Chains A and B, each alone.
Chain A
């Protein structure tokens, strides 16, 4: 068993940028006065000459990053998911995505696990907002190892990418000796034909624990980790629907617009089955410790296990 690393994906992201910047001289990192929080500060410390703090001005930051990309650089612009994709949506849409510029946008403190800061900072719409933009790649890594690999893939891919980062330190579950990140390819973490559980991001490990728990009860759930929300792995989703006949999606995002919607779009066209969505049910979050909030919103192992049990037992 691989070493379990307990780390927030934002930190893994900062580490990955440093690693990549050692060999890739074109990487330039931008932040909007949140370097300590988004963990681009790790990069700032090592490569101060390639770090630009734009101050609290996200729209300008994205525009500057677009201009940098037009001049041949690989800009990585980070802020909280709320401000990166919310405040600067139109700059991303028009200055970055329309000309398909090579800008990587990192949205940290995504989801309700942002915690005590409350609803204004708990972005539950970013995946939906970003995936409606033509040509935008959307990645939501689930643990330290996946974030390290995903950041590398994002930088190597030529074109706009949105990458979602979490604030909460979480256990890794991937094994780096066998783990392989392929943009747009889902990963089957657990085999089973009773039901297909499709999860993304921070809650994948909770779903994995739930699926393992149910094994003892004789429920064989398939678990698929969708780290790339766009382009989504249609094949793995359709196959799972065909072989299990019922699908549950799990995400730390509004049930409108996120993974559940993306999976529904694929299956409604290709192989309609009943889909049960676990996520934030179109409500705003509120202040509280991250773990308590995840529990309140039904995004932890016992809640996920219960939904799977209910779906399987009909």
Chain B
């Protein structure tokens, strides 16, 4: 990746963050904190990594993405809109009665959503099922799933981890968005999950630790995952909850609180300034 590609990704990620802010502001609810921490990873997946066709969302040979931490869908929706799956303005009615974009991802109603998620711990199992289906059908599509670091407290995550490793699902990449915060406080204070790398390693995963806001590191981890044979890969991505909006960064209170008008305007102004700065440099 050259610097202009990275700049483009940064612009797209900033736009996805604006979409997440826009959506949660209009919804008067939702989860901005984790949406912002996961934005760079999901931007890279959809714009560089995954083989998908927005005009044919159910294309059977596509790579799949399962947002196991389903509550962080506002930025995913924004990315899907930027990618062309649906209109950007759908974000303005996120969570409204009759709207297409639900509070948590709905594969039946939203083009580009590969799995309905929201109940934590379940998406990773579905991702395993998709990866195994690819193996049974001798197809070479890959499956990506994004988990929260609080989410890995769910026992089902480890049932799925055992399964993925036992079935040698080398076409599966589990990414953990390690923003360090869950609803009730810091993950390590609520129900500590560390050492997470050793946990995944002992469950049979190739483990790669990265900065989840650094596109070169995201790229290199996903590129390496493709070379790993016979076992799944876990990418532990250190991130900042609320990343990109100064007053939301590392604040546990922004897990599930929508911005008010003033906060919306400030957040939007900050993100727009970042986009202008990046575009000015183009």
Determine whether A68 belongs to the interface, using a CB cutoff of 8 Å to chain B.
Answer: yes
| A34 located at the interface, meaning its Cβ lies under 8 Å from any Cβ of chain B in the complex | no
Binding site secondary structure of chain B: helix
Q: Does A99 contact B (CB under 8 A)?
A: yes
Within 8 A of B (CB), among A49-73: 49-50, 52, 54-55, 57, 59-60, 62-73
Q: Mark B113-149, 1 if CB is under 8 A from A, else 0.
A: 0111011011111111111111011000000000000
Query: Which residues does chain A contribute within 8 Å of B131, judged by CB atoms?
Result: 67
**B90 sits at the interface (CB 8 A):** no
Taking a contact as CB atoms under 8 Å apart, the answer to whether A67 and B163 are in contact is: no
For residue B189, CB closer than 8 A to chain A, the reply is: no
A54–B163 touching, CB < 8 Å: yes
Query: Contacts A95-B125, A99-B106, A99-B107 given: A60-B160 contact, CB under 8 Å?
Result: yes
Q: Are B128 and A60 in contact (CB under 8 A)?
A: yes
Residue among B108, B119, B129, B134 with the highest chain A CB neighbour number at 10 A:
B129
Q: Mark B72-115, 1 if CB is under 8 A from A, else 0.
A: 00000000000000000000000000000000001110000011
Q: With an 8 A cutoff between CB atoms, is A98 at the interface?
A: yes
Query: Nearest chain A CB to B116's CB is how many angstroms away?
Result: 4
Name the distance in Å between B101's Cβ and chain A's nearest Cβ. Answer: 16
Which residues of A sit under 8 angstroms from B123, Cβ to Cβ? 63
Q: Which residues of B contact A73 (CB under 8 A)?
A: 133, 136
For this complex, into which size category does the number of interface residues on chain A fall?
A: 20 to 34
Q: Which residue from B121, B122, B124, B129 sits with its C-beta under 8 Å from A68?
A: B129
Chain B residue total in the interface (Cβ 8 A): 35
Chain A neighbourhood of B125, CB < 8 A: 59-60, 62-64, 66-67, 91, 95
A258: CB under 8 A from chain B?
no
Is the beta-carbon distance between B132 and A57 smaller than 8 angstroms? no
7 further interface pairs, Cβ-Cβ under 8 Å (given A63-B124, A66-B125, A68-B133): A62-B125, A64-B160, A66-B126, A71-B130, A72-B60, A94-B116, A98-B116
**Pairs across A and B, CB under 8 Å, 6 listed:** A60-B128, A64-B128, A68-B130, A71-B129, A94-B118, A94-B119
